[in-house]
Copies of this chain bind each other. A is one copy, B any other.
Amino acid sequence: QPADKDARGRQLAGACAVCHGPRGIGAAPDAPHLAGQPEGYLQRQLRAFRGGERRHEIMSVIAKPLSDADIDALAAFYAAQAIELRDR
């Protein structure tokens, strides 16, 4: 794993892109957009999936092996993908 948090987040997010899109704008019909979500929110959800407080057939499996550092790197990556309302 790259030591640098940004690189680590980008690398880990590669596995998530199939459902969540390369930058967190979802590709799969029912997968939530992660782009621009608050970092703390994303960390809590990944920890909840890892710990079982929140369950999903795919996310519960994917989150299991993640370390705290992995979770923080992923949360930082997606939080940094700024979004805006299209028709402000």
Contacts and interface: CB of A to CB of B under 8 A. Distances in A.
Chain A interface residue count: which class?
Answer: 20 to 34
Interface string A16-49: 0000000101100111110111101100100000
- How many of these chains are in the complex? 2
Nearest to A23: B85
A86 B85 contact: no
Given A32-B41, A33-B37, A41-B31, A86 B86 contact: no
Contact of A30 (B38, B55, B84): B38
A29 to B, nearest CB: 6
Interface string A38-76: 101100100000000111000000000000000000000
